[in-house]
Amino acid sequence: MLAELHPGPARALLFDWDGTLVDSQDANFRAMGAALAPHGLGLDQDWFDARTGLSSADMIQALAAETGARLTAPVEDLVAARDRHFLANADRIRVHPQVAEVAMAYHGTLPLAVASGGARRIIETTMRHLSLEWLFTALVTRDEVDRGKPAPDIFLRAAEALRTAPADCLVYEDSDEGIEAARTAGMAVIDVRPVTRPRG
């Protein structure tokens, strides 16, 4: 296990899903672009990459607000289209081995949860595809809370599901929104990007 990912004294580990445990960035970008294109909405890669902590619905609403575009379909329909495109390419998703190694090392020793801004159906399907579902005691998604990241709700719900105080939880994250959410929840957090997306 890489030293920079060691959980130290944490009593429970919470993992973001997309970009943290799995490398789904390209599949997510392609799926969102394919869902928006029929409605005349373009999607820039850099803009998308800077907002990976947002749920699909929040991202679509942010794009419309920032570009002044008028959505020609309900947000939930656009999200459903995005999800269909994503699931059609689920075989492209790969595990980030450095982060998955942490989960595997502490499975059975510490309670583990996935706490993600994604949709439960999508994550559960991808978990089964990658045979990772056995690792985790709990899964909390955007579907179960009122507010997505950067609000702390997802992480607080996950801590509750693991019966662990927020201060005793450690979060593994790959987005600015997720890191802010973890800190607001009163949790320690490790930014996995230097490991999963090293520069140069």
| Distances in whole angstroms, Cα of residue 141 to Cα of each of 4, 9, 40, 64, 75 | 26, 26, 29, 23, 18
For β-strands 169-173 and 94-95, DSSP reports them as unpaired
Question: Can you say whether the dihedral through the CA atoms of 99, 10, 173, 200 is positive or negative?
Answer: negative
Please state, in angstroms and rounded to a whole number, the distance separating the CA atoms of residues 153 and 150. Answer: 9
Of the candidates 16, 58, 174, 191, the residue annotated as catalytic is 16
Label residue 180 left, alpha or beta by phi (over 0 means left) and psi (-120 to 50 means alpha): alpha
| Catalytic residue check, 143 | no
Label residue 53 left, alpha or beta by phi (over 0 means left) and psi (-120 to 50 means alpha): alpha
Closest by Cα among 123, 120, 116 to 149: 116
CB 1 within 8 A of CB 11: no
Just list the catalytic residues: 16
